[in-house]
Amino acid sequence: MCMDHSVICRCGKHDASFNFKNELMPPETIEALYCPECSNGIAVNPVTMIKDNGWVIQYDMDVAGLYSSRLPYNEKENLSPELLFDEGYITWRGVYPGDHIDSAEEREELAELAKVNPKKYFEQMKSWAINRMLRLKEEGWRKAHEG
């Protein structure tokens, strides 16, 4: 199970939804969020931060450490911002901030086709998913490179 939490960036102009895989880490593990606007000029500390296409997530690694006993054994040893993000313990809901909203709207446009031509709908949906991930990879989103 993944819990969804929204976090507002430091400048207050944007927010991002996060998933917390199996609720192993609390929301307090996110110390700060910086959008591309407010991340401009901050020094990214790789010990506590991860950068994803202009967005920066700053984790409270002390809090993460307190909850690390909940992680699988081999992951406790490698506790890092990369592990928290890439393994889904504290990561975007979707591929990027707002992805869950954008992808739902895009899929909804295709849904009408399912009513009139199910075969074409499946072809279009498959093509949409492949092309979308290729586009997100090109844009530089970290989670688009998974798998």
Q: Per-residue pLDDT for 1 more than 60?
A: no
- Examine the fold and report which residue of 71, 92, 113 is the final residue of a domain before the chain moves on: 92
> pLDDT-based confidence at 4, cuts 50/70/90?
low
pTM: 0.88
Range picked from 62-76, 93-107, 109-123, 126-140 for highest mean pLDDT: 126-140
Number of Cβ within a 10 Å radius of residue 85? 19
Number of domains in the chain: 2
Predicted confidence (pLDDT) at residue 36 exceeds the cutoff of 60:
yes
- In whole angstroms, give the CA distance from residue 48 to residue 10: 16
In sequence order, the 6+-apart residues with CB closer than 8 A to the CB of 128 are 106, 107, 110
Q: Please give the residue range of the domain that contains residue 138.
A: 99-145
C-alpha–C-alpha distance, residues 134 and 26, integer Å: 32
- The last residue of a domain, from among 54, 77, 92: 92
Instruction: Mean pLDDT check: name the lowest of 10-19, 50-59, 71-80, 83-92.
Output: 71-80
Do residues 48 and 84 both lie within one domain?
yes
Instruction: Name, in order, each residue with C-beta under 8 angstroms of 67's C-beta and a sequence gap of 6 or more.
Output: 24, 25, 26, 29
